[in-house]
Amino acid sequence: MSSELINSFKTGPDENGRFGTFGGRFVSETLMPLILDLETEYEKTKTDQSFWDEMDHLWTHYVGRPSPLYFAERLTDRLGGAKIYMKRDELNHTGAHKINNVLGQIILARRMGKSRIIAETGAGQHGVATATVCAKFGLKCVVYMGAHDVERQKPNVFRMKLLGAEVVPVTSGRGTLKDAMNDALRDWVTYVRDTFYCIGTVAGPHPYPAMVRDFQSIIGKEARSQMNEAEGRLPDTVIAAIGGGSNAMGLFHPFLDDRSVRIIGVEAGGKGVDDRMEHCASLTGGRPGVLHGNRTYLLQDGDGQILEGFSISAGLDYPGIGPEHSWLHETGRAEYVSVTDQEALKAFQLSCETEGIIPALEPSHALAHVAKIAPGLPSDHVICMNMCGRGDKDIFTVAKALDWNMTEFD
Amino acid sequence: MTRIDARFAALRAEGRKAFVAYVMAGDPDFESSLEILKGLPGAGVDVIELGLPFTDPMADGPVIQLAGQRALAAGQTLKKTLALVQAFREDEDEAPIVLMGYYNPIMNHGVEPFLRDAKAAGVDGLIIVDLPPEEDDELCIPAQEAGLNFIRLATPTTDERRLPKVMQNTSGFVYYVSITGITGAANAVAGEVGPEVDRIKAVTDLPVVVGFGIKTPDAGREIARIADGAVVGSAIVDLVGKGRPPAEVLDFIRKLADGAHSA
Ligand SMILES: Cc1ncc(COP(=O)(O)O)c(C=O)c1O
């Protein structure tokens, strides 16, 4: 359906967990009763004021919300066009947006009487957030992480261990996020009765895409009212990076029915979006398929086998994307573009130099697109980009990519 | 009536239990896989489950994951799997073949063309792990209309409320998954599985076979005693993975079949 014919973009998913044809519940029978239970519990909880009171309390006192909306003045001057604001979710406890969602899921897990929490992680940010909240509540935590990611995100592996989590390196496939998610699902079918699977992005079977979006929407809700305070109006453009799409969905969702707001999602272009398929741009370089419980755009070959994808950013290295993004893409409500590793690295440095903010490689992708479009826009055009994570975890990867020898600093 | 219905009717008439063997299509390569496939009826296999290789088999343990990877590395595709079935059918028209796998390669092929091609190749039924009854419109209903059985998995977590829904559009037989877990993991325990099989039989007239966690002829016999048949997968696939020649794999399968048939 084309965008003009849709009254509201905020009503999805339907009762079958579909956003248009995307989403759904493509899981094995063993998991199906669990997923239905979770849906029932979440539906109940969603309208329970005591749940949101608990969330608000922890968001304020534990996470440090609201995160600031910051006018990036030197960056704006440097790019010489649109006025650029950053939504500073990198200032959250644990350093990324991931904890917004984890808090919601863990409080729900506690209400459901689950004692063991599992999670998948790519960059390690979701793993760290899950390990953190589990430590706070005294829950057992097991994190699946691709062996390749364990290598490139070492600081986060150590953090998870300090927090008492068990980190399981996954060697199947190429050892990245997709493979970690497979193993987390395998764990879940094995320990269904006491285990809660805390998914880190807006993917997976219904109700995860909707539930994670609802928890992350705090980003967009805050940004909307903060922008009103700062500029007396809505932003003209909102931009976020996309791995599975949770920080983006969280920023976008409250703006979906504001037709004046241009919405742009930035996928990881890796070495460039072409037939070598060395990228993770599911929407710009993939086709619809079914993986990890939902129908969505996927990187796949002619036989329907899933491709591994490639990105310098572990958090974006996923061959799928949340189903709601696939739907926003097909309806045309949101635009999706890609940015290469090299462009993201440049934006990473630009943020360090102009704003004194070391960004994670994931939001560096969003920033790279901002840097592309801002110079061509008028100075009264207001952009809000999601600075969804800080870059401490990435300094070794960046040093390597920039050919800096870290031992020089010993 | 499909070959599956005919086979179970015959087994029932003879008072025998079914032995179901799972092998991965194209593992370790097309030719060896065809050789194993052709040997299955002679080794005593009543129903053949032929695995469709997939990069992300989320319900499978390491043994079957690796089998899929070997097959894909050797160039296996969905089209080649249908060609494998067709080659098998050249001199075998009775042994039923059930394709077991995941939805994405089928969706990628297109549901209608897939059903037409599968039927033409001589496939009798489908077990698609990531299509629960909630997604029946995707493939289950069209498959039944195309004359293929759609065999559903029932599991220890399928409770009384859900069981009728799971049975609703099932045909051919019911596959009871004996454990909560992935293929090749824990061992099935006949004492625990028996009451579960009875629970399913109370709501369906279809045969109920039990799989996951059966690795030896003795275990197969124990399980076949309390159900209509036993499935062995990982233990067979593991031998292929260890590089054993087709003849040796078939010898092991014969022992498994004898075990189940002695129940
Ligand atoms: C800082 C940061 N941003 C973005 C992502 C990508 O996830 P999503 O697209 O769900 O926000 C990750 C994932 O690890 C991350 O750590």
Indicate which CATH number applies to the domain containing B194.
Answer: 3.20.20.70
If DSSP codes are grouped into helix, strand and coil, which group holds residue B230? Answer: strand
**Under an 8 A CB cutoff, do B157 and A29 touch?**
yes
By alpha-carbon position, which residue is closest to atom 7 of ligand 1?
A243
The fold adopted by the segment(s) A19-60+98-212 is Rossmann fold (3.40.50)
B56 tagged catalytic: no
Give pLDDT tens digits for A93-112.
999 999 999 999 999 999 99
In this prediction, residue B48 carries a pLDDT of 98
Strands A293-298 and A22-26: antiparallel
Task: For residue A156, give Cα distances in angstroms to A103, A159, A167.
Answer: 19, 5, 10
Which residues of chain A make contact with B102, given a CB cutoff of 8 A? 290
pLDDT at A141 over 70: yes
B96: its two tokens: 């039923």
If DSSP codes are grouped into helix, strand and coil, which group holds residue B149? Answer: strand
If DSSP codes are grouped into helix, strand and coil, which group holds residue B172? Answer: coil
CA of A316 to the centre of ligand 1 (A): 6
Strands A237-242 and A382-386: parallel
A66-95+216-404 sits in which CATH class?
alpha beta
Whether A258 and A333 have beta carbons less than 8 Å apart is answered as no
In this prediction, residue A4 carries a pLDDT of 72
In the set B5, B27, B60, B124, the catalytic residue is B60
A242 Cα nearest atom in ligand 1: 9
pLDDT at A170 over 90: yes
Residue listed under structure tokens 């325990």:
B189
- Closest partner residue to A189 (CB to CB) among B77, B105, B182 is B182
In this prediction, residue A2 carries a pLDDT of 63
Domain that holds residue B35: 3-261
**Worst-scoring range by mean pLDDT, A374-378, B211-215, B226-230?**
B211-215
Strands B152-154 and B174-177: parallel
Residue spans per domain, chain A: 19-60+98-212, 66-95+216-404
How far is it, in rounded angstroms, from Cα B154 to Cα A197? 22
Give pLDDT tens digits for A307-353.
988 999 988 989 999 999 999 999 999 999 999 999 999 999 999 99
Residue B147 burial (10 A CB sphere; 0-12, 13-18, 19+)? exposed
User: How many domains is chain B built from?
Assistant: 1
Whether A206 and A25 have beta carbons less than 8 Å apart is answered as yes
Whether A202 and A23 have beta carbons less than 8 Å apart is answered as no
Residue to substitute in A67, A92, A94, A125 for testing ligand 1 pocket (most ligand atoms within 8 angstroms of CB): A125
DSSP B102-114: -HHHHHHH-HHHH
What's the half-sphere exposure (Cβ side, CA atoms, 13 Å) at B218? Answer: 2
ipTM > 0.90 (yes/no): yes
If DSSP codes are grouped into helix, strand and coil, which group holds residue A405? Answer: coil
**Under an 8 A CB cutoff, do A33 and B185 touch?**
no
How far is it, in rounded angstroms, from Cα A97 to Cα A388? 5
In this prediction, residue A154 carries a pLDDT of 87
Read off the pLDDT band of B188 (50, 70, 90).
confident
In this prediction, residue B30 carries a pLDDT of 98
Let me know if the fold of A19-60+98-212 is the same as that of A66-95+216-404: yes
**Under an 8 A CB cutoff, do B157 and A24 touch?**
no
Cβ neighbors of A122 (< 8 A, separation 6 or more) are A145, A146, A149, A176, A177, A180, A200, A243, A314, A315, A316, A317, A318
Q: B231 - beta bridge partners?
A: B20
Interface of B with A in 195-254 (CB under 8 A): none
How far is it, in rounded angstroms, from Cα A168 to Cα A229? 45
In this prediction, residue B168 carries a pLDDT of 95
DSSP A84-128: EEEE-GGGSTTSBTHHHHHHHHHHHHHHTT--EEEEEESSSHHHH
**Under an 8 A CB cutoff, do B156 and A27 touch?**
no
* Distance from the A395 Cα atom to the nearest Cα atom in chain B, whole angstroms: 31
Q: What is the mean pLDDT of residues B220-240?
A: 97
In this prediction, residue A410 carries a pLDDT of 59
CA of A244 to the centre of ligand 1 (A): 7
Whether A72 and A84 have beta carbons less than 8 Å apart is answered as yes
In this prediction, residue A126 carries a pLDDT of 97
In this prediction, residue A409 carries a pLDDT of 66
pTM confidence score: 0.96
pLDDT at B235 over 90: yes
Read off the pLDDT band of A1 (50, 70, 90).
low
Give pLDDT tens digits for A223-274.
999 999 999 999 999 999 999 999 999 999 999 999 999 999 999 999 998 8
Torsional class of A156: left (φ above 0), alpha (ψ -120 to 50), beta (otherwise): alpha
For A259, other C-beta atoms within 10 Å of its C-beta total: 11
Which carries the bigger pLDDT value, residue A5 or residue A31? A31
Give pLDDT tens digits for A199-226.
999 999 999 999 999 999 999 999 999 9
Q: Which residue type sits at A145?
A: M
